Amino acid sequence: MSYPFQINSLAQYHADYKAAAENPDVFWANVAENFYWRKKWDKALDWNFTEPKIEWFAGGKLNITENCIDRHLATMADKPAIIWEPNNPEERVRTVTYARLHKRVCQFAQVLKNNAVKKGDRVCIYMGMVPELAYAVLGCARIGAIHSVIFGGFSAQSIADRLEDAQATFIVTCDGAYRGEKVIPLKAVIDDALIGNKTVKKVIVYTRTRTPVSMIKGRDIWWEDEMDIAEDQIEKNGVVSFKAEEMDAEDPLFILYTSGSTGKPKGVVHTCAGYMIWTTYTFVNMFQYNQGDIHFCTADIGWITGHSYILYGPLAAGATSLMFEGIPTFPNAGRFWDIIDKHQVNILYTAPTALRSLMSFGDEHLLGKNLTSLKTLGTVGEPINEEAWHWYDDNIGKNKCPIIDTWWQTETGGCLITNLAGITPAKPGWATLPMPGVQPVIVDEKGNEVTEADEHGMLKGNLCIKAPWPGILRTTYGDHERCRVNYFATYPNVYFTGDGALKDAEGNYRITGRVDDVLNISGHRIGTAEVENAINMHSGVVESAVVGYPHDIKGQGIYAFVIYNGHHGDENLRRQDISQTVAKIIGAIAKPDKIQFVKGLPKTRSGKIMRRILRKIAEGETENLGDITTLLDPDVVAEIKDGKV
């Protein structure tokens, strides 16, 4: 069965693209008719990019969980909503039907209510990939609390900053999380994050690893106890119910923090209706999801990919979403292929970095794995190199599955540019065509539209979007001006993505990477300024400069040039001290791959670090460093080149 808004042919793609561009309000109102509203909207779209103000379906009333769960119960109560595959393949798989998901989400919503969490309150979720994480997220949405999920790899300090920024009052966590051979002590990290915190009133702890944890009377409560209490409250005579809060279309649904070019991560805000419609529409169309398919997105729910394409998009579409707790290389590099074989997975959505890593372990991990259930493959998070694309195509899709290269961002809510599986053509290394509703434009440094092709027939420049689609961010939490400056002020009247792109004569886009000071490490976004701030926190560091460099597996690696003053241990120990400091301040994901100690940094006479030169050196370029005559002290360049690590 296909969906009423499913694009079934190339001709329909072009027709829908045109319709959405010409009459966005009519087009998206038609799509919106396929959702469950308590009250329909007054106005489909109202916007300007100067403030910015973006409103989709204003006046509409709904609750996203009624769309993701309740409306499926009449026909799909016993269908698996979530299939959970644990870290350890010997542990029992959990299958959560839509009926069970409904019960658990109602129960957790009741727990929140019992603990005085109200509509609009901010709830921080710091958990491993367990089904209870889905219950927590959706439970928040059910009562209208704004969830802010924090990836389990972030440190106590990072969590503390986010709690403060969001003024969160409630935390959901686990005692620990399994990651391959390791147990990550999540509750202990939360305890550290709460030192000095003034807003959090309660911390609820789900037992996953039975790691000993401190439980502070009056603040810390157990998930299991609270869920037991709630069970009787929501269930009367076999009927489960917890009336979902009625939300305005434009009420905030969640905050998700992401890095930018300044030191402080920003809280991207998505709202209820537009985000729901965008994630569902893109989910169905890019993967060409059909009822009954099993969808396996390998992302963590701590990132936007997990929010949009493990939870909200698939569930609103009534899909079966496979949720995986572990890592691709545990117990061995055949883990993904075992899961696909075991659950007869139809759609695999993963990151190029994971593919490159698995490639490097050799093809013997594919032996004996039956992958014939696969119909569609997808990638996300970074440009995919042709070698990885062909490996994916040959070894996983066996040249029978379309591969979609989906370009998007935390801020875009869902995918903006991709081929549609089996409908629009793929081009290795290219994200290809925009989704209906997305109007990209390539601009030069001054913001003028690039119209002249280069010698290869390509338009080349910075990627912007001309008009809002339903899933665009609405603000950055607590600081609307920051949202304006970051995304809407670089160039007038467009949303600036921060990415560079090429456009070919057929209208295909190729994303060439960030043009701002943001790195993409294994598909995760980290700001250079953020890493520098963390390095500079180390007592021996005088100054530092961080750039990215090409990394075989991660896509980009972090290269830090550090001026150091001290004598504690040899260079390697000092490097480890610095890495530990970064892990404490941001989290292990931001540890530099390379640290080079230098006597000076290349600076202009006005004191600005010339990162262009450092980037070239980090990339291994020795000859063409460009003009260095404007440097305050050109000699430092030779010294840095000689000391390259």
Q: By the criterion CB under 6 A, which residues form the site for ligand WT7?
A: 258, 304-305, 380-383, 405-410, 431, 497-499, 511, 513-514, 520, 523, 525
- Decide whether 41 or 509 has the Cβ nearer to ligand WT7: 509
CB of 349 to ligand WT7, least distance (A): 11
Q: Minimum distance between the CB of residue 375 and ligand WT7, rounded to whole angstroms?
A: 20
Residue 306: burial class (beta carbons within 10 Å; 0-12, 13-18, 19+)? buried
Q: At what angle do helices 611-618 and 635-642 cross, to 10 degrees?
A: 20
Q: Is the peptide bond between 634 and the residue preceding it cis, with omega within 30 degrees of 0?
A: no
Q: Of the two residues 380 and 421, which places its CB atom closer to ligand WT7 in the complex? A: 380
Closest Cα to residue 316, out of 105, 77, 99, 68? 68
CB 325 to ligand WT7: min, Å: 20
Q: How far is the CB of 407 from ligand WT7 (least distance, A)?
A: 4
The nearer residue to ligand WT7, 288 or 409, going by C-beta atoms, is 409
Nearer to ligand WT7, 432 or 544 (CB): 432
In the bound state with ligand WT7, the residue whose beta carbon lies nearer, of 520 and 544, is 520
Q: For residue 114, what are its two tokens?
A: 């019992």
Distance between CA atoms of 473 and 309, rounded to whole angstroms? 17
Nearest to ligand WT7 of 136, 384 (CB atom): 384
List C-alpha distances in Å: 331 to 85, 339, 389, 459, 576. 13, 12, 25, 46, 28
Query: Which of 343/510 has CB closer to ligand WT7?
Result: 510
Nearer Cβ to ligand WT7 (304/637): 304
| DSSP track, 333-346 | TTHHHHHHHHHT-S
Q: Which of 315, 140, 344 is nearest to 306 (CA)?
A: 315
Structural contact between residues 105 and 139, judged by C-beta atoms closer than 8 angstroms: yes
- Beta-bridge partner residues of 47: 54
Residue 212 pairs in a beta bridge with none
Length of the chain in terms of residues written: 645
Token pair 């550290």 is found at 192
Task: Sort 363 into a burial class: Cβ within 10 Å, 0-12 / 13-18 / 19+.
Answer: exposed
CA distances from 66 to 143, 225, 394, 512 (A): 11, 26, 41, 39
Closest CB to ligand WT7 among residues 44, 443: 443
Nearer to ligand WT7, 226 or 517 (CB): 517
Closest CB 98 distance from ligand WT7, rounded Å: 26
Decide: 439 and 466 in contact? Cβ < 8 Å. Answer: yes
Short-list 165, 176, 146, CA closest to 271: 146
Query: Smallest gap, in angstroms, from Cβ of residue 268 to ligand WT7?
Result: 8
C-alpha distance across the termini of the chain, in Å: 56
Please tell me the distance from the alpha carbon of residue 209 to that of residue 347, in angstroms, as a whole number: 30
Q: What's the closest the beta carbon of residue 56 comes to ligand WT7, in angstroms?
A: 20
Distance of CA 261 to the CA centre of its chain: 17
Tell me the pairing of strands 594-597 and 555-564.
parallel
Alpha-carbon separation of residue 595 from 521, 538, 547 (angstroms):
16, 13, 11
Helix ranges (H only) for 344-440 are 352-360, 386-391
* Choice between 59 and 513, CB closer to ligand WT7: 513
Instruction: For residue 178, list its beta bridge partners.
Output: 183
Q: Shortest distance, CB of residue 299 to ligand WT7, whole angstroms?
A: 8
**Euclidean distance between CA atoms 462 and 284, whole angstroms:** 29
CB of 61 to ligand WT7, least distance (A): 30
- Least separation in angstroms between CB 175 and ligand WT7: 28
Q: Which is nearer to ligand WT7, 67 or 409 (CB)?
A: 409
The CA distance from 310 to 131, in Å, is 11
* Cβ nearer to ligand WT7, comparing 143 with 463: 463
Contacts of 565 (CB under 8 A, 6+ apart): 540, 541, 542
CB of 441 to ligand WT7, least distance (A): 16
Determine the longest span between alpha carbons in the chain, in angstroms. Answer: 82
CB of 411 to ligand WT7, least distance (A): 7
> In which region does residue 420 sit, left (phi positive, over 0), alpha (psi from -120 to 50) or beta (all else)?
beta
CB of 410 to ligand WT7, least distance (A): 3
CB of 19 to ligand WT7, least distance (A): 25
Q: Order of strands, edge to edge, in the sheet holding 252-258?
A: 220-222, 202-206, 170-174, 122-126, 146-149, 252-258, 266-271, 475-476
Of 305 and 533, CB closest to ligand WT7: 305
Residue type (1 letter), 333:
A
Q: Which is nearer to ligand WT7, 110 or 406 (CB)?
A: 406
Could you give the angle at which helices 186-193 and 156-166 cross, rounded to 10 degrees? 60
Q: How far is the CB of 608 from ligand WT7 (least distance, A)?
A: 24
Residue 30 or 385: the one with the smaller Cβ distance to ligand WT7 is 385
CB of 486 vs ligand WT7, minimal distance in Å:
12
